[in-house]
């Protein structure tokens, strides 16, 4: 059985696709591409697809990951191209590697998010960011199945910055851009929780909903403060490709190929 790990995106209006809708679209793409999928046992077999830490509905993403199991070996790049061609525009399969290490989900320990706040002045965003980062705790509330839950949104935030001011889409109104690095903890701290925290500590309330995009997710590097590519260990574990023929090199006349 071969395992392939894929990175895919949610762009444009497809950011409103729910995880269940993506699953249906992806399974249709598997059938159209005639991928030799491995199936689960039992009365209702289903393709062996493992999804990892999907972004919330309504947020865009450049870094969603999943893993599939095949009954026959396939070239990852060829498989990626076939699946991408069978997916709707905006749900794009952009990377593929053969799984050569264990624990993909264990390497998804942090995310980098970008939040576009139309109608918010850069100065106001900067003041709110400073207030949030200076706070020891920032309690926010989220409605859950069992009622309203209160938790600290500050502890999971590794970094929060206000980037250079940008004009909004009409070009004549302020627009603040925030860059957020957040650890994956329990309960999960999402970008909207951080926005609730900014409202709590600095009364920052964007006039329109924020446009949120996940730029990366992976293992958080404590030394550099960056989020690393979770597929890199699989690439590094791949056997080296040898282009030279050792036998031919052994029998080549001495000095052959020299000027």
pLDDT band at 254 (very low <50, low <70, confident <90, very high): very low
- Identify whether the C-beta of residue 200 lies closer than 8 Å to the C-beta of residue 140: yes
Task: Please tell me the distance from the alpha carbon of residue 186 to that of residue 151, in angstroms, as a whole number.
Answer: 10
As a whole number of angstroms, the distance between CA 62 and CA 91 comes to: 10
Each residue of 42-51: pLDDT tens digit?
A: 888 889 999 9
Exposure pattern of 129-158 as b/e (b: 16+ CB <10 Å)?
bebbeebeebebebeeeeeeeebbbbebbb
Q: What is the pLDDT of residues 125-158, one digit of tens each?
A: 999 999 999 999 999 999 888 888 899 999 999 9
- Evaluate if residue 242 carries a pLDDT over 60: no
Tell whether 93 is covered by a domain: yes
CATH number at 128 reads 3.30.70
Q: Which residue has the tokens 């609730």?
A: 196
pLDDT above 50 for 176: yes
Helix axes 191-202, 122-134, angle to 10 degrees: 90
Cα angle 69, 71, 74 (rounded to 5 degrees) comes to 80
Q: Which residue from 214, 257, 179, 229 is spatially nearest to 58, judged by alpha carbons?
A: 214
Same domain, 100 and 123: no
If asked whether residues 207 and 112 sit together in one domain, one would say yes
- DSSP codes, the chain: -EEEEEEEEE-GGGGG--HHHHHHHHHHHHHHTT--B-B--SSS--B-EEEESPPPTT-EEEEEEEEEEESS---HHHHHHHHHHHSPTTS-EEEEEE--SS-TGGG--EEEEEEEEET--HHHHHHHHHHHHH-S--EEEEEETTEEEEEESSTTEEEEEE-S----TTSSS-EEEEEEEEE--SS---HHHHHHHHHHHH----SS--EEEEEEEEEEETTTTEEEPTTHHHHHHSPPPP-S-HHHHHHSPTTTT--
Residues 71 and 149 in one domain: no
Do the domain assignments include residue 49? yes
15's CB contacts (< 8 A; 6+ apart) are: 58, 59, 60, 61, 90, 213
Domain harbouring 37, CATH code: 3.30.70.580
Which pLDDT value is given to residue 259?
A: 36
Same domain, 179 and 116: yes
Residue 258 has pLDDT above 80, yes or no: no
Residue 241 pLDDT grade (very low, low, confident, very high; cuts 50, 70, 90):
low
Q: Domain count of the chain?
A: 2
Higher pLDDT, 166 or 255: 166
Domain that holds residue 180: 108-228
Kindly list the distances between the CA atom of residue 37 and the CA atoms of 9, 43, 45, 98, in Å, as whole numbers in the listed order: 22, 17, 11, 14
- Dihedral sign, Cα of residue 96, residue 97, residue 99, residue 102: negative
Quote the pLDDT of residue 224. 87
- Bigger pLDDT: 167 vs 135: 135
Residues 149 and 54 in one domain: no
Residues 119 and 223 grouped into a single domain:
yes
In terms of domains, do 113 and 224 share one? yes
Which of 74-83, 109-118, 168-177 has the least mean pLDDT? 168-177
Question: What's the predicted TM-score (pTM) here?
Answer: 0.87
Q: Are residues 174 and 221 in the same domain?
A: yes
77 lies in the same domain as 119: no
> Residue 172 pLDDT more than 80?
no
How far is the C-alpha of 210 from the C-alpha of 93, rounded, in Å? Answer: 25
Of the listed ranges 91-100, 150-159, 239-248, the one predicted with least confidence: 239-248
């Amino acid at each position: 059985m071969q395992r392939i790990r894929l990175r895919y995106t949610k762009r444009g209006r497809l950011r409103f696709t729910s995880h269940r809708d993506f699953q249906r679209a992806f399974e249709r793409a598997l059938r159209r591409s005639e991928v030799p999928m491995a199936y689960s046992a039992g009365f209702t077999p289903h393709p062996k697809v493992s999804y990892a830490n999907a972004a919330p509905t309504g947020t865009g993403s450049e870094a969603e990951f999943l893993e599939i199991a095949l009954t026959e070996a396939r070239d990852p790049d060829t498989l990626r191209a076939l699946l991408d061609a069978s997916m709707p525009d905006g749900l794009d399969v952009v990377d593929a590697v053969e799984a050569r290490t264990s624990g993909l989900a264990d390497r998804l320990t942090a995310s980098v998010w970008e939040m576009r706040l139309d109608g918010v002045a850069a100065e106001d965003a900067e003041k709110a960011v400073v207030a949030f980062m200076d706070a020891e705790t920032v309690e926010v509330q989220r409605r859950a199945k069992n009622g309203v839950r209160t938790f600290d949104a500050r502890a999971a935030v590794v970094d929060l910055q206000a980037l250079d001011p940008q004009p909004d889409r009409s070009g004549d109104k302020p627009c603040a851009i925030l860059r957020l690095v957040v650890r994956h903890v329990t309960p999960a701290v999402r970008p909207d929780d951080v926005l609730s925290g900014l409202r709590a500590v600095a009364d920052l309330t964007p006039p329109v909903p924020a446009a949120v995009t996940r730029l990366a997710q992976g293992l958080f590097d404590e030394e550099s403060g960056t989020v690393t590519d979770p597929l890199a260990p699989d690439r590094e574990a791949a056997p080296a490709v040898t282009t030279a023929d050792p036998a031919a090199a052994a029998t080549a006349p001495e000095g052959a190929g020299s000027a």
